[in-house]
Structure formats: structure tokens, C-alpha cells
Structure 1
Amino acid sequence: MSDSQWALIASLLPPAGNTAGKGGRPEKHPRRIVLDAIFYVARGGIAWRQMPSDFPPAMTVYDIFRRWSKTGVWHQVHDALRDLVRLRAGRDPLPTAAIIDSQTVRGADTVATASAGYDAGKKTKGRKRHIATDTLGLLLTVVVTAASIQDRDGAHRLLVDLRARFSTIAHVWADGGYAGRLLSWAKTVLSLTVEVVKRTDKITGFVVLPRRWVVERTFGWITKHRRCVRDYETLPDHHEAMVYIAMIMTMSRRLARTADQ
């Protein structure tokens, strides 16, 4: 991280365990170095134990990653940075529309069999991440399921989570894979209007479709981080955390560049 990135993220992290005088050991390693180590794993796609020796011990770094995943720290830091990006773009922090899509990721041998599945359409065994973004392509929420889960079924969990986090969203764009009963269910149960953006039969070759290209670009941002190109995480929650970390790195770099100009 650059100094500007660290200045943005440092204030968003939870307080250290021994700062309030309530017991617990003080943190042995500086948080900036620990965060650099986690970002190194996310960007490089390496195993935790393959980190260079100038980082803190691998299992110490992993334990902090796991603890912050369990307590929702990555999600909180991500949401705070997303609000800052939206504000600097002249938008309200609370979005009113979203785009949803899914992406199947091949699973490594470290992925638990119980949480993996086979996507017959993509001929891929692993997991599927369902994401919702705003109209700028910034991540709103992510749900990781087995790859065998259909897009429409995964969208039920995704839209419920989206509604719980954002009461302001009224309209959602999706591709043809979400057509059917999902549209009426979302309207009746969640008060969300889901609009399907279809590709017409007259179109040949690659064409940028309205709204749908935004979420595809977000998948591109995420897969720049090699830990997200393939799923190595034992728990789906840890894969979700890696997606949030990828977007934290993307947004903090963008905000740091703006601050340095």
C-alpha cells in the first residue's frame, strides 16, 4: 500500500485488542505490514505459507484474515470506501439501482466438497459468486454458493441481502438467465423491479449490452486479483472476504490517486 492508501484504510479498521485496558495481548506486528501481507496473497494468488519471509508469520496473518472475516471487518471497510468513491463521483452514498450477475469459479482441492458443485453450462466444478453492483460498477453485495446452484436460485439470496442492506434500491437489471418467476417474486416480496436486458437474435459477435457491461467490468476488476481467479478457500465466507478485499484494493488505489492529484 502507498501512504495515501494506508491513511484511508487505517481509520476504518477495528481498535486493537489491548487499547481499552480490558486485557488481551497487544498486537505484535504493525497492522500495515499485516494488511500488506493479506493484499499480497490476494493479488498474487499464492498460498498463505508461501508468503515471503519479510512478512509476519503466515499463520498469524491468516488468523487475522479469518478473524476479520468472521466479524465483518472486510465488509465494513469495503462499504466505507465505496461510499467515499460514490461521493467523489458526485453520487449519493445510497444507490437507487443495481445490476446483478454471477460467475462460476473453478475450485481447488482445498475447497470443501460439501460447498462445491458442478456447473453443467460452464462445465466447471467449483463455486459460483453472485454479485450486485451499482451503476458505477462498485460492489454492493456478494453471495457465494456451489456452482450447481442456478442463477435464479442464487439471485433469491442475493436480492434478499441487497434489500436488507439498501432500502433505497428500487430497480435491478439482469440478463436473460434471471427471467421467469424471479421477477414477480422480487416485485411482490421485496418491492424490487427486475428488468431483464436480453441479447436479440439479430446481433452477431461481441456487442456491449446496456447496463450488463457494468457488472462484467466489475468481474474484471475482481479477477485482476489472482486469489479470486480460482477458488482456494475452504469456507464460502472466506471467498466472499477475498472478493471484498479485491474491491478494497481497487477502490483505495482510486481514492489515493485522486487525493495525490
Structure 2
Amino acid sequence: MSLTCSCSSCPAHGKSPADSPKYPFYPSSSLIDAEWALLEPLLPRPGNTAGRGGRSEKWPRRLVLDAIFYLVRGGIAWMQLPHDFPPAKTVYDICLRWAKAVAWQRIHDMLRDRFRVCAGRNPQPSAAVIDSQTVRGADTVAAGTAGYGAAKKTKGRKRHIATDTTWLLLAVVVTAACIQDRDAAHRLLAAVCARFATITLVFADGGYAGRLVSWSKSVVVLAIQIVKRSDTTAGFEVLPRRWVVERTFGWLTKHRRLVRDYETRPNHHEAMIYIAAIRTLTRRLAHRTGQQS
């Protein structure tokens, strides 16, 4: 990949593809040209574009993204970023600034819509699948945002996600692990309803049965269909619709930063989920584009 930059003061100016950092997670963490072409137009506008106020960006954005993807894929600490990348503090500040601006979610949503169109689907889904996953929290997790999940006997947080009927993320909510699924689902379904007026049906497991079904029907006008396990089946059972969201969790946790929660705030963890999904989407979209060209 090329790291050349038009800025004469850029530390990466003049580097050739041979000088690009290549580490154990390469190429799964580093962007190829086709992936960068997809992402570059979607990134937030750089600072000081008009030459007035503030400092212009010193490091190439492609290199910054490679560093963020490397960290999320490898599960390392910020200060453990290899020296070939921009300074860890710089990468951290950019990542959190974009998280605060909800940029990661916007980038993901645009890629998701494009992926659905490439797959011959309407960009607006008509049904969703919801589920939750408990993840153990590290000592960096603020005590006030974590809790003990009795069902999984785990202290940490829960990530509640909604996907379409393939595997694509529609909404993410991160709570303390002590929050019941049906309680957190109020926020999750409200987010789904606010973003997708076309969704009328939601598939869920037995943990969401009860008052949530009536609340969803009367308040957000979403019908919830509970998909339960068969009482006569022993061992593992692939359940209709529900297996889709389980597969999404499996793909997300291939990114080691999501195997455990290291983020101080829930919205930082949500950003990490979107970053992992962005990396998966860009790789698959670039592959589809290459096949079609």
C-alpha cells in the first residue's frame, strides 16, 4: 500500500509500499488500495481545511486507520502500538474524537447500506434480530458502568445488538452486565425504530418474552416474534433467524479487542464494535467490487 503524502512536513512523506508496516495481523488489519478507496470519502472532514485556526493533520489518515484496525484486531493496549504507526496518543485522540462525533457509526451505516445494495437488497431492512452478549470487564472499565451478570457469572458489560436477517449491524447498545436483556431492549428497539421506519418485525429469544412484547407493539409499533428452543432437542440446536445474530457475535469477537472489555466508557466500547464491523465490511465490499470489475 502507498503511504505517500502531499504534505512536505509529514513524517511518512516519501514512503514506498515496501516501507509500509507489516505485522502478524497484516493484511487483515491493513487497508489495501480498494478498501481505502471505499473509506476515504466517508471519513470526517479534516481540521483546518480552510487554513484558519487549529492545526492541520500531521499524519496520513490511512496510516491512522491502519493503526486503529491493528489495535482492534490484535487486542493490544494503545501504548503497545508499533513505532511504525503514528504516536499512540495521536491515534487514541483521533479515535475518541470520531467516537464522540458518532463518526464510526455513520461510516459503518453508509458501508452497510452499500453492502445491502450490492447484495441485491433494499438498503432499508424490513426485519431485525436482537440478542445480547456478556463480556468480562478489565480493570480499566469504570466501576459505575459495569455490573455482575448472574446468568453468565461474569462481571463486566453487556453488548446488545440488532442485526438485519443476514448479519449486518443495525444498532448497538452497551450496558452493565447486570441489566436484564428485556430492560436494555427498550433502548435497543427505540434506536432501531428511530433509524429504520421500514422495520416491522423483530426476532428474539425467550429472554425477551413478557412485557417487552406488548410494550414494543404499543410504543414503537414493532412486532416481536419469540424463537424458542425445542423442549425435545438435546444439545446444540440451530434456531431459525436467531443463528444470524450469533454468527455476527462470532465475527465480532475475531477482533481480540472485543473478547474482553477494556474501554473506560460504554460509548467507547460501542465505537470498537463499529470499528470491527467497518473492517469486515470494507474487506467484503472490496472483494465484491473486485469480482464485479
**Aligned with residue 4 of structure 1, among 5, 14, 34:** 34
Instruction: Give the CA deviation at 1:207.
Output: 1.3
**Aligned with residue 91 of structure 2, among 61, 64, 87:** 61
Counterpart Cα distance in 1 of 2:73 and 2:80: 13
Residue aligned with 2:152, SS: coil
Counterpart Cα distance in 2 of 1:22 and 1:179: 56
How many pairs does the alignment contain? Answer: 261
Partner of 1:241: 271
Counterpart Cα distance in 2 of 1:72 and 1:223: 22
Partner of 1:157: 187
Instruction: Give the CA deviation at 1:23.
Output: 1.9
Residue aligned with 1:11, SS: helix
Partner of 1:76: 106
Counterpart Cα distance in 1 of 2:116 and 2:50: 34
Partner of 1:36: 66
Where do residues 1-261 of structure 1 align in structure 2 (5 Å cutoff)?
1-261=31-291
What's the CA shift string for 1:62-110, capped at 9, x where partnerless? 0000000000110010000000110011100011100000000000000
TM-score, scaled to structure 2: 0.88
Counterpart Cα distance in 1 of 2:172 and 2:278: 14
Counterpart Cα distance in 2 of 1:170 and 1:250: 27
Instruction: Give the CA deviation at 1:22.
Output: 3.3
TM-align CA RMSD: 0.6
Instruction: Give the CA deviation at 1:21.
Output: 3.3
What's the CA shift string for 1:12-36, capped at 9, x where partnerless? 0011111123322110000000000
Counterpart Cα distance in 1 of 2:221 and 2:40: 37
Instruction: Give the CA deviation at 1:215.
Output: 0.2
Counterpart Cα distance in 2 of 1:121 and 1:18: 50
What's the CA shift string for 1:109-165, capped at 9, x where partnerless? 000000000001100000000000001110000000000000000101100111111
TM-score, scaled to structure 1: 0.99
Residue aligned with 1:125, SS: strand
5+ long unaligned stretches in structure 2: 1-30
User: Which amino acid is the alignment partner of residue 68 of structure 2?
Assistant: I
User: Based on CA coordinates, which of the two structures has the bigger radius of gyration?
Assistant: 2
5+ long unaligned stretches in structure 1: none
Aligned-residue sequence identity (percent) comes to: 69
Partner of 2:9: none
Residue aligned with 2:264, SS: coil
Ranges of 4+ aligned residues in structure 1 off by more than 3 Å: none
Worse overlay, 12-21 or 98-107? 12-21
